[in-house]
Structure 1
């Protein structure tokens, strides 16, 4: 779906499809180097990280295990509720493994902080974070993201896995959602 098919739903594109793919390729090269010879498992955070997990993993030049979790601190709104819930847990044992969480966006930090601690408590050797987007101005909890695609302003964005009421995930770019749709 391209921008013209969306009418006035998107105020502007923040990160283009080409920018996303180029950056994921760069991040994959760094991860290849950083985890060479190590037992790495990617943990994608559903549903938002589906696009990033698929594209990022294809850029890796190594074998990698993948698993998924679904956690949420959002309801149907545009702001975090502050309560993290596990909706789908891992199928794999991560005891003694290097875990790289793949996430769509680091916003308040609440979800990723909780998730990092949760995975470490399960005996992971290490837990690092790769996020496509980070909103530095929105952080309420400090989370160290080892790999960051793009820093963006604190605006409500959709596309490339990010949704509003389960819509817009399939956009190949990331754009600011028009306020008239949610205010």
Structure 2
């Protein structure tokens, strides 16, 4: 084609460096997007005729939530909440909301959209809080699930991938505030 440069795909990044730590590719973007589309189809099937509220947990779930919302073929509303429980690569065991919900959720069908359920402490905190709003239903959609790390009995209703109890970054997940922008998911080689 004249006048048009063909775009060559960038080589797949095998490793990245963040704050002196090395991470290697765990799940490529195309597989992430494929699985999210499958999750969206299942959610649309389960919520046919219903306009659920996606309660997106910031900051980590924003990339997953955007992909999920775009793939959903049903009407939905989107709200955001921000919880804090991590310092560096470790859960502090203490959860607090630093950005809350301001919408009435009574009688609504909620889908909590989370990047990762590992210890379950943040999810338990949020589910308890949302339960106090008297919703009609609450389900959890998590891109990643680490069942071996659970300290609370939490079982997400929609799971993208079950992974080992290792530290991951990319696709919205960070390490000390960096790494969210990478399109693939990476695992710390020392975790």
* TM-score with structure 2 setting the length: 0.88
CA distance in 1 between partners of 2:16 and 2:186 (Å): 11
Structure 1 residues 111-153: Cα deviation after superposition (integer angstroms, max 9, x where no partner) = 0011111101111111110000011111111112000000011
- Structure 1 residue matching 2:31: 3-state secondary structure: helix
Post-superposition offset of 1:5: 7.9
**Which secondary structure does the structure 1 equivalent of 2:50 belong to?**
coil
Q: Within 5 Å, which residues of 2 pair with 1:84-163?
A: 84-163=95-174
Residue of structure 2 aligned with 1:3, choices 13, 19, 24: 13
Q: Distance in 1 between matches of 2:112 and 2:56?
A: 6
Unaligned runs of 5+ in 1: none
User: Could you say what the CA RMSD is over the residues aligned between the two structures, in angstroms?
Assistant: 1.8
Q: 1:28 aligns with which of 40, 46, 65?
A: 40
How far apart in 2 are the matches of 1:4 and 1:178? 12
SS at match of 1:141: coil
Shift of 1:10: 4.0
Q: 1:5 to 1:150 in 2, by over 3 A?
A: closer
In the alignment of these two chains, the number of paired residues is: 179
CA separation in 2, counterparts of 1:97 and 1:39? 9
> In the TM superposition, what is the alpha-carbon distance from 1:3 to its structure 2 partner?
2.1
TM-score for the superposition, normalised by structure 1: 0.92
The aligned residue for residue 42 of structure 1 is 54
- Distance (whole Å) between structure 2 residues aligned to residue 10 and residue 78 of structure 1: 13
**CA apart distance, 1:80:** 1.0
Tell me, yes or no, if the aligned pair for 2:170 and 2:181 is still in contact at 8 Å. Answer: yes
Deviation at 1:63, TM superposition (A): 1.3
Larger Rg: 2
Partner of 1:165: 176
| More strand by percentage | 2
* Distance in 2 (alpha carbons) for counterparts of 1:40 and 1:71: 21
Give the number of the structure whose residues are more often helix, by fraction: 1
